[in-house]
Structure 1
Amino acid sequence: MFKSISCLSLVTAALMAGASQSAFALEANAFGDRLVETSRLMGLSFSYGSATLEGDTVTLSDFTFNFAGEEPHEVPGDVVFEGVVETPEGGYTAERATIADVEYTDEEEGVTLNFVDIVAEGIVLPAEVSLDNVIEIGLELYDRISAGPLLVTDADGSELFAVDLMEATVEDPAADGGVTSSYQVTGIRADLSAIEEAEAQEVIAAFGVEEFTASMSGSGTWWPETGELTIEDVDFVIDNLGSISLDLALDGYTEEVYRETMKLNLKMAEMAEAGEEISEEEMEAMSEGMIELMGGTRLVSGSLRYDDNSLFMKVLDFVGAEQGVDGETFKAGIQFMVPMMLAEVENEAFKSMVTSAVNTFIADPQIFTLSVAPAEPVAFTEFEELDVEADPFVLVDRLNVQISAND
């Protein structure tokens, strides 16, 4: 991504080393202005008060984010870009960007928030910002963004909520043109014993989770030239209780759809800069616009999987206790009720599949999976055309819904 500069640029840099501070400020402002311009395509609107350059480090001061209909939010401290280089084409690269650690105390609530080590790496700003090259801009804007730990404490300094790390990465395009991005949020934890409500404490005690710990992660790959998109291993894990995983395969998410989405982002940024509040009518129009844009996108396949790690039996124990029975007795009752609940279902194959899967999972709660694999991809607009109310199973048949347990 343009890691070298031309001999002319080197000579220019040498000359600038002996130039006035105003010349340095001018170059720093050019970088800052390009950053502002580029971010608008991502739906972000911000401004800065001043820009300075020292060596290859650009510092932006009085960095302020603008949100439609809200007062500007100023970033505490400076935003510092290290390893800044101007490319031969007139764009910029920066090795990393950092902001000052955030510390905020709400005196009324008696809680303090600390958010540290906020970093962006592998930043690329284009020579020209336009909707014509918005795809390249979006895919090359950064390599990695990370932040954390995030810590929320009470007035005594005791931890209430924390996240160890939040991270998002974008890889360089693969040989087949696919661009993969991923995210992870690790070390999520919360002290549930601090919740004072009696009903909440009853649930917490029943589930034995005075400290909630969890993590999130996922990845996706987009092939701009073909419009294919996969969303893989989107996981939400609650330690010692269970986890949910999602996988999807789509097509029809074309470059044009992406470009039109960026137009909506640009409009949002422009409204924020103008200080305009977004009305309900405008929000509805934008939502309808997004639905229309995504109309040609088609569902190829997908699956939703639940992995149990004690949560199911704890739910049965809790619900059963409210009815005066233990969890095992309540479980037996559910197994007996499943065929009765499906008695009016006319689709015998579907009824048999659901009964088998549900009873298998209830008897030995491990894995429960719902998947779809239509014979032909289903366009999102087709969901509106299916008369589910008249025939509830038209969707089951069209999507080829499969339900299984402990596979």
Structure 2
Amino acid sequence: MTLHHSFKSLLASAAVFGFAGQALALDGQDLLNKINTSYAAGGGTIAAESIEVSGSDIVMKNVKFSVGEAGETPLAIGDLTFEGVTEEEGGSYQIEKVSFPEVNVKEEKSSISVTDLYLSGVYVPGNPDAEGLDSMMFYEEAHSGPVDVSIDGKSVFSMEEAIATIALSEDESTMTFEGSATGFKADLSSVEDPQAKQTIEALQLTNLAGEINMSGSWEIEDGTIDIDDYSFDVANVGKLSMAFSLSGYTLDLIKQMQEQARQMQAQPENEQTQQAAGLAMLGLVQQLTLNSAQIRFDDAGITKRGFDYAGKTQGTDGAQMAQMVKGMLPLLLAQAKLGALQNDITAAVNAYIDDPKALTIAAAPANPVAFPMIVGAAMGAPDTIPTLIGLKVTAND
């Protein structure tokens, strides 16, 4: 499978189609069938009223997307335009770009609009049972332009742009991915519940703005997936960052999980089937191994405002409320039976409360730990978990 065609290859393909005429005309229905075969793992189905083929372009008219239980009203998407479509050996397809129509949905007092939606560098497998990545449908870039959600003509949520990219190494052993959602804004001034509105105003959360970012990689053969950064950064609130590394997330495991999901969706009303598939899914997750994990919060003012508001509701001030939390923390931690880690958590939280900058929870085991070991420890000896996964809590580092 080749993800990137050279310019010469593109010219050659164009020449072949130009001279071959109708003999090598694209089969739009075959493309749709293979997309649906790939989507079947997630329970989704795409239907088109008609399909038009013009050279290397295909337009699927009045597309509707169905997912979940039979009988549910499908989602009307509109016309999908596939540009630069080429069929490869083995029946797979490469698509330069898939463009989606603009979204303009209005229901009573609310409206949603989304523009500039597209996928580029799309690969559709010819055989979902093929070996390796040849069996998976994926894209090089997914893009969304401006998004706006309005109620009574007032924007309550908007986003400037969202992009997700996937790249494959030359030897097809590693897949890297990045994603971002920039310029999002939320206006919570329309919240009607008096108590919720009071809390929002006290915490200065009426108008929120920020961005979301993610980056990572996947070693395909051994299934090691590293999320280097998955962060939510909100102005005047703070930044929540997560990172983790797992092993065992192989193609075989993915296919097994997709099969279980398909069984659950096929018989949504059958309680026994749902339970059996759910247990099977839990069993599959046991194949994973924890390498490391971290959660970090960098404060941008929300902590002090939170203590001030909590103190006010209790008839005191923020400083007194902070001291009350520091005094209650050891009692709460004692119930969790965390052993020596209790003192480290207390020291870190106290330091953060005194000077709110950053609080970090990290797991860095000396050796990778299989999930069954973690589950077993949680059920039988929870006080051993901190040592088992190398758990540490630090502040302001």
The answer, yes or no, to whether TM exceeds 0.5 is: yes
Partner of 1:211: 207
Spell out, residue by residue over 1:20-68, the C-alpha distance to the aligned partner (whole angstroms, 9 max, x if none). xxx96x7222333332233324543222221111232100012121222
User: Structure 1 residue 98: deviation in Å?
Assistant: 1.0
User: Structure 1 residue 173: deviation in Å?
Assistant: 2.4
Partner of 1:125: 124
Describe the SS at the equivalent of 2:382.
coil
Determine if the alignment matches structure 1 residue 355 to structure 2 residue 351. Answer: no
Q: How does 1:84-99 map to 2 (within 5 A)?
A: 84-99=85-100
- Once residues 78 and 87 of structure 1 are traced to their aligned partners in structure 2, the CA distance between those partners, rounded to angstroms, is 25
Partner of 1:151: 148
Q: 1:150 to 1:280 in 2, by over 3 A?
A: farther
Give the gaps of 5 or more residues in structure 2: none
Determine if the alignment matches structure 1 residue 194 to structure 2 residue 199. Answer: no
Spell out, residue by residue over 1:266-291, the C-alpha distance to the aligned partner (whole angstroms, 9 max, x if none). 5568x3xxxx6454433333322221
Range moving further from structure 2, 309-318 or 322-331: 322-331
Partner of 1:103: 104
1:120 partner amino acid: L
Give the gaps of 5 or more residues in structure 1: none
- Once residues 344 and 288 of structure 1 are traced to their aligned partners in structure 2, the CA distance between those partners, rounded to angstroms, is 30
Spell out, residue by residue over 1:66-101, the C-alpha distance to the aligned partner (whole angstroms, 9 max, x if none). 222152424342100011122344432111111211
Identity of aligned residues (%): 25
User: Structure 1 residue 380: deviation in Å?
Assistant: 1.4
Q: How does 1:5-84 map to 2 (within 5 A)?
A: 10-11=15-16, 13-16=18-21, 27-41=27-41, 43-69=43-69, 70-84=71-85
Q: Is the 8 A contact 2:163 2:179 kept in 1?
A: yes
Partner of 1:322: 313
Describe the SS at the equivalent of 1:75.
strand
Partner of 1:135: 133
Q: 1:146 to 1:320 in 2, by over 3 A?
A: same
User: Structure 1 residue 231: deviation in Å?
Assistant: 1.6
Q: Is the 8 A contact 2:215 2:228 kept in 1?
A: yes
Q: TM-score, normalised by structure 1?
A: 0.86
Determine if the alignment matches structure 1 residue 243 to structure 2 residue 239. Answer: yes
Q: Is the 8 A contact 1:153 1:161 kept in 2?
A: yes
1:133 partner amino acid: E
- Once residues 345 and 57 of structure 1 are traced to their aligned partners in structure 2, the CA distance between those partners, rounded to angstroms, is 61
Describe the SS at the equivalent of 2:30.
helix
User: Structure 1 residue 121: deviation in Å?
Assistant: 0.4
Describe the SS at the equivalent of 2:316.
coil
Q: Is the 8 A contact 2:223 2:249 kept in 1?
A: yes
Q: TM-score, normalised by structure 2?
A: 0.88
Determine if the alignment matches structure 1 residue 161 to structure 2 residue 161. Answer: no
Partner of 1:284: 275
Aligned length: 391
Range moving further from structure 2, 286-295 or 342-351: 342-351
Which structure is higher in RCO with an 8 Å CA cutoff and minimum separation 6? 1
1:14 partner amino acid: F
2:112 partner amino acid: L
Describe the SS at the equivalent of 1:394.
helix
Determine if the alignment matches structure 1 residue 182 to structure 2 residue 178. Answer: yes
Spell out, residue by residue over 1:316-365, the C-alpha distance to the aligned partner (whole angstroms, 9 max, x if none). 00100011111122223333444565578887742331222111111101
Q: 1:92 to 1:135 in 2, by over 3 A?
A: closer
Q: 1:43 to 1:218 in 2, by over 3 A?
A: farther
Q: Is the 8 A contact 2:352 2:359 kept in 1?
A: yes
Larger fraction in strand: 2
Q: Is the 8 A contact 2:61 2:78 kept in 1?
A: yes
2:219 partner amino acid: W
Describe the SS at the equivalent of 2:197.
helix
Determine if the alignment matches structure 1 residue 376 to structure 2 residue 367. Answer: yes
1:31 partner amino acid: L
Q: Is the 8 A contact 1:305 1:370 kept in 2?
A: yes
Spell out, residue by residue over 1:145-195, the C-alpha distance to the aligned partner (whole angstroms, 9 max, x if none). 11232211123x221122222322211126582211232222222211111
2:57 partner amino acid: T
Partner of 2:394: 404
1:295 partner amino acid: Q
- Once residues 393 and 111 of structure 1 are traced to their aligned partners in structure 2, the CA distance between those partners, rounded to angstroms, is 50
Range moving further from structure 2, 88-97 or 34-43: 34-43
